[in-house]
Amino acid sequence: MRRLTANTLLASCSICWGISYTLLKISSEQINPVSLIFYRFLLGFVVLVIFLFPKLKPLTKELMIPSAIGGTIIASLLYILLLSLKHTTASTVGFLMSSAVAMVIAIDCVFKRQFPKKLLLAGLILVISGIALLTIHEDGLVLNIGAVFALIAAVGYASHILLINSWTHKVDALSLGVYQLAFVVLIGGVIALYTGSLANPLEWTLRSWESLLGLSIICTAYCFLIQSVAQKYSTAQQTGLLFTLEPVSSAFYASWILDEALTVQTFAGASLVIIGVIFSMFSSYSNPKSRSTTLDELSLDNDALVKSSVENVSAENVATKK
């Protein structure tokens, strides 16, 4: 898979995740948050298993450990976000969660021991400014315990992106994307049973079922699978930047489905985010040496294979002549 294809797929994940806020708002009218998380990931996992079962690798120790860690991070993020929304405003949570892109770039640069390029920094500033316009309204940022929870969630979000980028070069990316959802289901089921808040699906309305199926198939099965598969051919920095398109699409979905007003501030914020992402992407694609780790490794492996083959043929020719 080419990096451009991978980044296009990652952008599609961000756009699809944007509708999750609208669907969550509809679903939460009847389904409690704990049950919603459990059933959402259960249905998403079942859908993936049905369609991808022949391609799934056995759950070995090497695959189980990253799947368990990834699933635990996802489940923790969801429950921490629920806590943060109880203590602070949605705009504060949205902004702090979107700031994860800055954390991804900062951590990635520290590990690579390199300073980010000027175009990347310029793009990042535009993205953060755009996100601020999209998420911060008249209520402003409310810094309290809820904001602390949101910041913790943002760190977890950034860590998940970086870990997926590392794991997909070591284990089967497709299987990782599926099995990590299984661990979210396991954790969600335990919490739902422990709290006694597992809802009865037979009592839900058609509207609740429609929103839940959208969350399960589009925002869970598709997005988490594509993230694992496509991120193998991209970079953590580009993934983080592409995921900032989520609040942009979220604003337009809310306007389309929930009839929420689109203001000049919304359009300005969306424009800044899109321009910032383009700037940042250009900083990578403009560098001919910028290639994914996987492609570099494959190139080196192929060169070594060709060199070895040539040496073997030469040795056989010498032996024949003798």
Q: Which of 259, 313, 204 is nearest to 22 (CA)?
A: 259
Q: Is residue 23 part of a domain?
A: yes
pLDDT reported for residue 290:
45
Give me the domain span that covers residue 285.
3-290
CA distance 209 to 202: 10
Q: Is residue 173 part of a domain?
A: yes
Q: Is the model's pLDDT at 190 over the cut of 90?
A: yes
- For 191-202, what is the mean pLDDT? 88
Q: Is the model's pLDDT at 12 over the cut of 60?
A: yes
pLDDT reported for residue 64:
95
Q: Is residue 168 part of a domain?
A: yes
Q: 26: which residues sit within 8 A by CB, 6+ positions away? A: 207, 208, 211
How many domains is the chain partitioned into structurally?
1
pLDDT digits (tens, 9 = 90+) for 66-117: 999 999 999 999 888 878 877 776 666 777 777 787 788 888 887 777 777 7
Higher pLDDT, 255 or 165: 165
pLDDT reported for residue 180:
96
Q: Is the model's pLDDT at 42 over the cut of 60?
A: yes
Q: Which of 196, 233, 175 is nearest to 58 (CA)?
A: 175
Q: Is the model's pLDDT at 274 over the cut of 50?
A: yes
Q: Given pLDDT bands bounded at 50, 70 and 90, which one contains residue 174?
A: very high
Q: Is residue 256 part of a domain?
A: yes
**CA 73 to the chain's CA centroid:** 12
pLDDT digits (tens, 9 = 90+) for 207-221: 989 999 999 999 999
Q: Is residue 79 part of a domain?
A: yes
DSSP state of 260: P
pLDDT digits (tens, 9 = 90+) for 112-163: 777 777 777 787 788 888 877 877 766 655 667 878 888 888 888 889 999 9
